[in-house]
């Protein structure tokens, strides 16, 4: 592997959700540890599943990995980090300041902005020389999906610049109170990230044209903020031998080879490694040890008969959605499970039935227009662009609040609005505006990967609590976005997953998080299922057999209702293929 030649101390694995970042990061950590290096594996993903991959609980503390003496792991838990951060600021003033003042500080520290700052604070602590990291030769970062990671890696510069300029009367005064003491830590983090002798970035992708285009954009964006030492790993490539006698395998192989032959120009100069698709689930030490083997033996599996299932397809779920005539439909789940495609398919099907639909996304890395590749009556498409929404919010505040200020006050306000926390407020407001449309039409929302979505919902919950507090003594009727999300008559949450161990576990964890917030998922969708197809490829058939346990778990343990969408020969891009996807025969008569 090229990226393992003379590796520097810091290795970052990033890329679109679902491409295998966690598996490759874990396999790399095992490899380095078993060659005598002391390794710390760190997850910065708010929806981390490193512990699930190793089959142990890790959490927000450095934990030794059994059977690998030189390997330890840490999952940065944003909520736990936020609580530690809050305590660090609030505890010294308890009993010193009036209770009302302490309560006000706690309220300022209750939002998603504090959560992000706290996780970022822990992240930068790992990039500096300290007692915390001195024991390790390598620190490997398994990062969140692309959009979240670009924000994380740009935050040291953003916060350093904001603090250097002075924060004025920042609305994020509470969260920022703990940042002043960290200036030197953030500068050291910026220096470490920009030093190619200390930091290497590994872009993980699949052999898919859309994924490779996104990786090319990521490459350029990260290079622009100083991360120049980049490598490319293309994961999960189907071996050519599997395509010899199977139509589905041949279609997948051809699709992958076309993507590799037309790789975007910015990526051609990067050192590149290829990881072949494996027949086994990437959970447990033995599986991870075999992941980076370049030429695994060809799998031999007897295929006695096609796998038969008996489960609803996507069209049946759409029937239930359409019956209400309007409402919010939110697709949530782990990155890479196909939320964008399924959101587009559901929106296209509803519009095709003559219903007005607004299709939107809160995912910084989503590309709805590429998936639709066309127009349709009754369908409008939009994207919550954080940069656009932040600029719109800043301008609105300057035009309203700023119009009443003198020159000095306006200058302070402009400084306040340069805080990275401003983005949180702006994105939440855009989210709220779109939710309100669902009273008259269908709004289908493709959300960001799990962790990023939970932060947005955290902001929604904070707003709801504040409105409820202010209205507690009033008889005026009010409706917050959170109340709408909690009402199944107005909002249907669809959890999207794959029939694999880690995606199903993550979807189940997301469902538990939503339920704690009073949001009950309406249905699950198992996407890209091999078990719902007919294949004569031994490798694909084995992977299909592996799916049955997870499909059964969804059907019997997790979901009130569910649907299975098969893996298709042709990528579902364009209105026609999306319509075929909603009506595709996803199952055949049979048992689990």
Indicate if 335 belongs to the active site. no
Half-sphere exposure of 69 (CA within 13 A, CB side): 2
Q: Which residues of 461-475 are buried (b: 16+ CB within 10 A; e: fewer)?
A: bbbbeebeeeeeeee
Q: How does strand 39-43 pair with strand 71-75?
A: parallel
Q: Using CA of residue 121, residue 123, residue 129, residue 134, what is the dihedral sign?
A: positive
SS3 49: coil
Q: Is 236 a catalytic residue?
A: no
CA distance 16 to 414: 34
Gap between the Cα atoms of 392 and 233, Å rounded: 38
* Residues written for the chain: 592
- 336 catalytic? Reply is no
Q: What is the DSSP-derived secondary structure letter of residue 143?
A: P
Q: Which position has the token pair 């219903």?
A: 355
**Annotated catalytic residue within 14, 15, 17, 22:** 22
Helix axes 422-437, 386-400, angle to 10 degrees: 100
Which of 14, 17, 23, 63 is catalytic? The answer is 23
Catalytic-labelled residue, pool 15, 18, 327, 333: 18
Instruction: Check if 23 is active-site.
Output: yes
**Residue 20 designated active-site:** yes
Q: Which residues is 74 bridged to in the sheet?
A: 42
What does the alpha-carbon distance between residue 504 and residue 499 come to, in Å, rounded to a whole number? 7
Residues forming beta bridges with residue 274, ordered by sequence position: 234
Bridge partner list, 142:
13, 43
HSE on the CB side for 538, CA within 13 Å? 11
Three-class HEC string of 172-239: CHHHHCCCHHHHHHHHHHHHHHHCCCCEEEEEEEECCHHHHHHHHHHHHHHHHCCCCCEEEEEEEECC
Structural element, H or E, at residue 152? helix 146-165
Marked catalytic residue, from 21, 278, 334, 339: 21
Helices 78-90 and 99-108 pack at an angle, to 10 degrees, of: 150
Assigned token pair, 81: 């980090």
Q: Could you tell me the CA-to-CA distances from 475 to 130, 470, 471, 478, 542 in Å, in that order? A: 56, 11, 8, 9, 61
45 is catalytic: yes
Exactly one of 124, 211, 450, 502 is catalytic; which is it?
502
| Residue 28 to residue 34: CA distance in whole angstroms | 10
Q: How many angstroms separate the CA atoms of 105 and 117, rounded?
A: 16
Let me know: does 315 contact 583? Beta carbons within 8 Å: yes
Neighbours of 552 (CB within 10 A): 13
DSSP line for 371-423:
HH-S--TTEEEEE--HHHHHHHHHHHHHHHTGGGS-HHHHHHHHHHTTSTTHH
Q: Is 258 a catalytic residue?
A: no
Could you say which of 45, 142, 246, 416 is catalytic?
45
Catalytic residue set: 18, 20-23, 45, 502
């Amino acid at each position: 592997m090229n990226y393992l030649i003379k590796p520097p101390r810091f290795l970052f694995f990033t890329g679109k959700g679902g491409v295998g970042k966690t598996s490759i990061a874990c396999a790399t950590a095992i490899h380095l540890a078993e060659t005598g290096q002391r390794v710390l594996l760190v997850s910065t993903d708010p929806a981390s599943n490193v512990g699930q991959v190793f089959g142990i609980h890790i959490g927000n503390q450095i934990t030794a990995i059994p059977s690998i003496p030189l390997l330890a792991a840490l999952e940065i838990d944003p909520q736990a980090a936020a609580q530690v951060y809050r305590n660090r600021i609030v505890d010294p003033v308890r009993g010193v300041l009036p209770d009302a003042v302490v309560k006000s500080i706690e309220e300022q520290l209750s939002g998603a902005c504090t959560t992000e700052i706290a996780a970022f604070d822990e992240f930068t602590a790992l990039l500096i020389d300290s007692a915390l990291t001195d024991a390790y030769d390598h620190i490997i970062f398994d990062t969140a999906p692309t959009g979240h990671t670009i924000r994380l890696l740009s935050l040291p510069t953003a916060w350093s610049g904001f603090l250097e300029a002075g924060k004025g009367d920042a609305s994020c005064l509470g969260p920022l109170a703990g940042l002043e003491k960290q200036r030197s830590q953030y500068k050291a983090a910026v220096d470490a990230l920009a030093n190619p002798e200390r930091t290497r970035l590994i872009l993980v992708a699949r052999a898919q044209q859309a994924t490779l285009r996104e990786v090319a954009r990521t490459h350029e964006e990260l290079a622009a903020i100083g991360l120049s030492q980049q490598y490319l790993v293309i994961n999960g490539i189907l071996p050519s031998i599997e395509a010899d006698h199977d139509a589905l395998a041949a279609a997948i192989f051809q699709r992958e080879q076309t993507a590799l032959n037309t790789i975007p120009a910015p990526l051609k100069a990067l050192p590149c490694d290829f990881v072949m698709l494996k027949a086994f689930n990437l959970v447990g030490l033995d599986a991870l040890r075999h992941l980076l083997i370049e030429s695994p033996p060809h799998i031999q599996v007897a295929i006695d008969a096609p796998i038969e299932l008996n489960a609803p397809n996507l069209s049946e779920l759409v029937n239930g959605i359409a019956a209400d005539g309007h409402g919010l439909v939110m697709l949530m789940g782990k990155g890479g499970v196909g939320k964008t495609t399924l959101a587009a398919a559901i929106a296209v099907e509803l519009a095709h039935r003559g219903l007005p639909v607004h299709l939107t996304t809160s995912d910084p890395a989503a590309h709805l227009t590429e998936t639709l590749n066309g127009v349709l009556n009754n369908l409008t498409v939009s994207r919550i662009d954080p940069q656009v929404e932040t600029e719109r919010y800043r301008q609105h505040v300057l035009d309203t609040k700023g119009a009443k200020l003198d020159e000095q006050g306006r200058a302070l306000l402009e400084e306040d609005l340069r805080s990275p926390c401003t983005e949180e407020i702006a994105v939440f407001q855009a989210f709220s505006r779109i939710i309100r449309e669902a009273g008259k039409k269908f709004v289908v929302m493709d959300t960001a990967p799990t962790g990023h979505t939970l932060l947005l919902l955290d902001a929604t919950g904070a707003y709801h609590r504040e409105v409820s507090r202010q209205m507690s003594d009033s008889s005026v009727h009010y409706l917050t976005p959170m109340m709408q999300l909690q009402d199944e008559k107005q909002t249907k949450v669809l959890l999207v997953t794959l029939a694999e161990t880690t995606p199903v576990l993550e979807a189940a964890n997301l469902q538990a998080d939503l339920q704690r917030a009073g949001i009950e998922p309406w249905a699950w969708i198992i996407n890209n299922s091999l078990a719902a197809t007919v294949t004569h490829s031994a490798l694909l058939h084995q992977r299909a057999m592996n799916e049955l346990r997870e499909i059964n778990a969804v059907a019997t343990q997790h979901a009130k209702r569910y649907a299975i969408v098969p893996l298709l020969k042709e990528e579902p891009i364009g209105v026609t293929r999306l319509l075929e996807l909603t009506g595709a025969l996803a199952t055949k008569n049979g048992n689990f």
